[in-house]
Amino acid sequence: MVEHAPQVVNALRLYLRLAGSKSLAALGDNLIAALNPMLGPGAVAIYLLAGNQPELVCANEAPEGFLEEYDHASSSDSMLDHVLGTGVPIDNIAMQHEPDWLAGGNDAFLTKWGFGHCMAGPVLMDRRAVAVVYVARAKDAGAYSRPELELLEAACFSASLSLETMSAAQLLNDDEQAKIVDARTKKEPAKVPRAVALLPPRAAQVAELLCKGLTNKAIARQLNISAYTVKDHVSALCQRFDVSNRTELVHRFMVSDGYGS
């Protein structure tokens, strides 16, 4: 008989409880309960994406005034834009090379409120993000790792299953159902391989164009960077995915998938 570590069994229970949520309030509580043991101390917030302004569903351990200031400035949230555009989670380290992230003062905003690192992940229905989950923690806790990013993705997947069930079983009230319907009319995320979408934005752009068969020179022209920079990106990607050439790299990308597919 295979013995499973107690923390693994507990994690499975938490994710199953999350997937079985029967109301938005329960979904928020169960999502927080699932994430906190895995990611350690920090803030969690869940927003519904209906209308022009994200609407807070539930939050935990957020300093007073933090969410209010975010709500005021959320129209320039480049992390949210990335999540909506790709349908996969991302962290602030991957956003460092995104000009809009730096220009928007997002790092300064996090520091102001005592946070050093954050992640965001989508809750999807019909491949469209109907909600977004944010987590943040102090700088001295260290940056989020790839396994932690995947834990957030798993939690978002469980939340997606729950929302699908609630919507189909008419467990949402009329206002909640209308908001879900509105969110599901939004633009569908780009259909890019999951392994590409999880990369930092510039590396993801290079990888996506590689998958379309463009040469280094063509990629350089399209991204307005030098061919030498493209070559450096390709070499770094080959090293990252432990392949020896661009053909193997593209194959690795194309066989990857994600829960939003």
Look at residue 207 and tell me whether its pLDDT is greater than 50. yes
Q: Range(s) for CATH 3.30.450.40 in the chain?
A: 6-183
Q: What is the mean pLDDT of residues 235-255?
A: 86
Look at residue 192 and tell me whether its pLDDT is greater than 80. no
**At 41, phi and psi to the nearest 5?**
-60, 140
pLDDT per residue as tens digits for the range 118-153: 999 999 888 788 999 999 999 899 999 888 988 999
Q: Which residues contact 234 (CB under 8 A, 6 or more apart)?
A: 206, 210, 216, 246, 249
pLDDT category at 69 given cuts 50, 70, 90 is: confident
pTM of the predicted model as reported, rounded to 2 decimal places: 0.75
Q: Which residues contact 136 (CB under 8 A, 6 or more apart)?
A: 42, 43, 110, 115, 117, 118, 119
Determine the topology of domain 6-183 in CATH: Beta-Lactamase (3.30.450)
Q: What is the reported pLDDT for 139?
A: 87
Counting residues of the chain whose pLDDT is more than 70, the rounded percentage is 90
Look at residue 74 and tell me whether its pLDDT is greater than 60. no
Look at residue 2 and tell me whether its pLDDT is greater than 50. no
Look at residue 106 and tell me whether its pLDDT is greater than 90. no
Beta bridge partners of 154: none
pLDDT category at 190 given cuts 50, 70, 90 is: low
pLDDT per residue as tens digits for the range 39-63: 888 999 999 987 777 888 899 998 8
Look at residue 112 and tell me whether its pLDDT is greater than 70. yes
Q: Range(s) for CATH 1.10.10.10 in the chain?
A: 194-254
For 194-254, which CATH class?
mainly alpha
Q: What is the reported pLDDT for 1?
A: 41
Q: If residue 106 lies in a helix (H) or strand (E), which one and from where to where? A: helix 106-112
